Amino acid sequence: KNVMSIASELFHNCRCQAEDTPDVLKIHIYLESGQKFGIVKIEKQSLSLQLRKLIGSPQNYTLSSEQDLKNYV
């Protein structure tokens, strides 16, 4: 599954916006209320994943699987 479909499963009526840069693909996740939940960064070279959660005090999580994304959300 991709990040956008996982976000849709976890948040009812969320909106995702992709930002493609030369090195990183960023997926910005917005809740139904319009509040920004966080950003998932995918490094293109290493395919490493990181979640930057913006609700509350900002927190960063390194993700190793789809399940990690679900756990930290």
- 3 state SS for the chain: CCHHHHHHHHCCCCEEEEEECCCEEEEEEECCCCCEEEEEEEECCCCCEEEEECCCCCEEEEECCHHHHHHHC
pTM score above 0.95? no
| pLDDT tens digits, one per residue of 4-43 | 888 888 888 899 999 999 999 999 999 999 999 999 999 9
| pLDDT tens digits, one per residue of 42-61 | 999 998 999 999 988 889 99
pLDDT value of position 65: 84
